[in-house]
Structure 1
Amino acid sequence: MQTTLLYQQVKNVIKPYVAAHKCSFTIALSGGVDSVVLLHVMNALKADMPQLQLSAVYVHHGLSQYADDWQLFCEKLCATLNITFDTAQVKIEQKTRTSLEQQARDARYQALDKLSPSGSIILLGQHLNDQLETFLLRLKRGSGLQGLTAMRQTRMLSSGRECLRPLLNVSRQDIEQFAADFNLEHITDDSNSDERFDRNFIRQQVVPLLSERFKGFEKSATRSVNLLQQQQDVLDEYTQQDLQQCQNNQQGLSCLALANYSAARQANVLRSWLGQFTALMPSHQQTLQILSQGLTAQADAQLLIQLAQGQVRRHQQFFYFVRDTAVPLSQLVTDAELLLSDGRSLVQLTGEGIRKPLPNEQVTVHFNRPQARIKPRKKPGHNTLKHWFKDAKIAPWLRASVPLIFYNEQLVYVVGHFISAEHYQQEGIFWNIKT
Structure 2
Amino acid sequence: MQSSAIYQHVKHALEHFFKQQQYNFTVALSGGVDSVVLLHVMHLLKQEMPKLKVSAIYVNHGLSKYANDWQAFCQNLCVELDIPFNTAQVTISPQTRTSLEAQAREARYKALDELSAPQSVILLGQHLNDQIETFLLRLKRGSGLKGLGAMQAMRELQSGRMCYRPLLNITRSDIEHFATAFNIAHITDDSNTDERFDRNFLRARVVPELAMRFKGFEQCAGRSIELLQQQQALLDEYTQIDLSQSLNDQQALCISQIIHYSDVRITNVVRAWLSLFTQVMPSQKQLSQIINQAINAQADAKIQIDLVDGQVRRHQGYLYFVTQKNIVNDDELITHELTLNDGRVLTKQSGVGIRAPHANEQVSVRFNYNSARIKPLKKPGSNSVKHWFKDAKVAPWLRSQVPLIFYNDELVQVVGYFISEKHYDENGVYWECK
**TM-score for the superposition, normalised by structure 1:** 0.87
Task: Name 1:233's counterpart in structure 2.
Answer: 233
Equivalent positions of 1:100-179 (< 5 A) are 100-179=100-179
What SS class does the counterpart of residue 152 from structure 1 fall into? Answer: coil
Query: Any residues of structure 2 matched to 1:253-332 within 5 Å, and which?
Result: 253-332=253-332
1:33 aligns with 2:33: yes
CA RMSD of aligned residues (A): 3.0
Q: Distance in 2 between matches of 1:392 and 1:307?
A: 28
* Range with greater deviation from structure 2 (96-105 or 263-272): 96-105
Cα distance per residue 1:390-412 (max 9 Å; x no partner): 32233333322222234565544
Mapped partners of 1:238, 1:364: distance in 2 = 47
Residue equivalent to 1:54: 54
Letter in 1 for 2:357: K
Which residue of structure 2 aligns with residue 353 of structure 1? 354
Task: Out of 402-411 and 153-162, give the one that drifted further.
Answer: 402-411
Contact 2:373–2:382 (Cα < 8 Å) also in 1: yes
Is structure 2 residue 78 aligned with structure 1 residue 78? yes
How far apart are the structure 1 equivalents of 2:200 and 2:410? 64
In 2: Cα distance, 1:275 partner to 1:343 partner: 21
Work out the number of aligned pairs and report it: 433
CA distance in 1, matches of 2:261, 2:30: 47
1:223 aligns with 2:226: no
Q: Per-residue CA shift, 1:327-373, capped at 9, x if unaligned?
A: 435243165544433344444566632563675x7654332333443
Provide structure 1 residue ranges, at least 5 long, that are not aligned to the other structure. Answer: none
Amino acid at match of 1:353: I
CA deviation vs aligned residue, 1:99-140 (integer Å, no higher than 9, x gap): 332222222222222333444222111111111121122112
Other-structure match for 1:382:
382
Q: How much has 1:85 moved relative to structure 2? A: 2.2
Return the alpha-carbon distance in structure 2 between the equivalents of residues 204 and 323 of structure 1: 45
Q: Deviations over 1:164-218 (max 9, x none)?
A: 1111111222222322222222223334344454333433444345445555443
Separation of aligned partners in 2, 1:66 and 1:126: 21
Distance (Å, rounded) in 2 between the aligned partners of 1:203 and 1:385: 64
In the TM superposition, residue 77 of structure 1 has moved relative to its aligned partner by: 1.8
CA spacing shift, 1:357–1:69, aligned 2, 3 Å? farther
1:402 — aligned with what?
Answer: 402
Q: Which runs of 5+ in 2 are unaligned?
A: none
**Residues 56, 381 of structure 1: CA spacing in aligned structure 2 closer, same or farther, 3 A cutoff?**
same
Cα displacement (A) at 1:62:
3.3
Inter-partner Cα distance in structure 2 for 1:145 and 1:272: 14
State the Cα deviation string for residues 285-340 of structure 1 (Å, max 9, x = none).
22222221112334454433333343333333233334443343524316554443
CA distance in structure 2 between the partners assigned to 1:373 and 1:172 by the alignment: 71
Cα distance change of structure 1 residues 207 and 332 upon mapping to structure 2, 3 Å threshold: same
Contact 2:335 2:363 in 1 (8 A): no
Q: Contact 1:328 / 1:401 at 8 angstroms: preserved in 2?
A: no
Alpha-carbon distance in structure 1 between the residues aligned to 2:390 and 2:247: 23
1:379 offset after TM fit, Å?
1.9
How far the C-alpha of 1:376 sits from its partner, in A, is: 2.4
SS in 2 for 1:265: helix
SS of the residue corresponding to residue 245 of structure 2 reads helix
DSSP-derived class of the 2:7 partner:
helix
- 1:67/1:96 Cα in 2 relative to 1: closer, same or farther (>3 Å)? same
Measured after TM superposition, the shift of residue 234 of structure 1 is 3.0
User: 2:327–2:340: 8 Å Cα contact kept in structure 1?
Assistant: no
Are 1:363 and 1:407, in contact at CA under 8 Å, matched by a contact in 2? yes
Q: What residue identity is the alignment partner of 1:400?
A: S
How far the C-alpha of 1:423 sits from its partner, in A, is 4.8
1:347 and 1:90 map into 2 onto residues whose CA distance is 40
C-alpha contact (below 8 Å) 1:374/1:385 kept by paired residues: yes
Letter in structure 2 aligned against 1:356: P
CA shift in 2, pair 1:387/1:95, >3 Å: farther
Say whether the 8 Å CA contact 1:149–1:225 is kept in structure 2.
Answer: yes
Q: Is the 8 A contact 1:253 1:273 kept in 2?
A: yes
Q: Partners of 1:63 and 1:124 in 2: how far apart?
A: 20
SS at match of 2:233: helix
Decide whether aligned partners of structure 1 residues 295 and 202 sit closer, same or farther in structure 2, where only a CA change above 3 A counts: same
Q: Find the residue that maps to 1:294 and give its secondary structure.
A: helix
Cα distance between partner residues in 2 of 1:345 and 1:50: 47
Are the equivalent residues in 2 in contact too, given 1:373–1:383 (CA < 8 A)? yes
| Partners of 1:2 and 1:44 within 8 A in 2 | no
Q: Match of 1:232, as an amino acid?
A: Q
Tell me the percent identity. 59
1:76 & 1:322 partners in 2: Cα distance?
50
In the aligned structure 2, how far is the partner of 1:238 from the partner of 1:349? 41
d(CA) in 2 for partners of 1:32, 1:331: 58
Residues 166 and 312 (structure 1), Cα distance of their counterparts in 2 relative to 1, 3 Å cut = same
Distance in 1, Cα, partners of 2:309 & 2:59: 25
Amino acid at match of 1:245: Q
- 3-state secondary structure, aligned to 1:185: coil
Moved more, 203-212 or 410-419: 203-212
Equivalent position SS for 1:46: helix
